[in-house]
């Protein structure tokens, strides 16, 4: 993702309150909330349906796996990096 597109993406997530910012040892970490991941997943599903392409299909699969992994972590209250 290019810097201008990444900046717009982060701005949009921040504006919609879909981004968590954590400050650890004077370093800031950005993490997309679960609702933010759902939005991204829905966007890529729609994009794949409208324009197709194998890369988008793989990305939709990866986003689904990420959501499942997050749910598993919450289920056991564990942190997996």
Query: Residue 81 falls within a domain, yes or no?
Result: no
Q: What is the pLDDT of residues 48-61, one digit of tens each?
A: 777 766 566 666 67
d(CA 12, CA 17): 9
Query: Looking at per-residue confidence, does 62 or 33 come out higher?
Result: 33
pTM of the model: 0.51
CA–CA distance, 81 with 52 (Å, rounded to integer): 31
Structural domain for 32, as ranges: 3-76
What pLDDT shows up at residue 31?
86
Q: How far does the chain reach from its first CA to its final CA, in angstroms?
A: 22
- Does 9 reside within a domain? yes
Residue 60 included in any domain:
yes
In a domain, 65, yes or no: yes
CA–CA separation, 75 and 29 (whole Å): 23
């Amino acid at each position: 993702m290019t810097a201008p597109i990444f900046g717009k993406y982060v701005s949009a997530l921040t504006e919609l309150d879909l981004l968590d910012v954590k400050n650890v040892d004077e370093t800031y970490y950005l993490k997309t909330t679960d609702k933010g991941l759902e939005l991204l997943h829905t966007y890529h599903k729609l994009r794949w349906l409208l324009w197709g392409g194998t890369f988008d299909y793989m990305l939709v699969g990866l986003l689904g796996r990420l959501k499942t992994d997050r749910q598993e972590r919450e289920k056991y209250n564990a942190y997996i990096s």
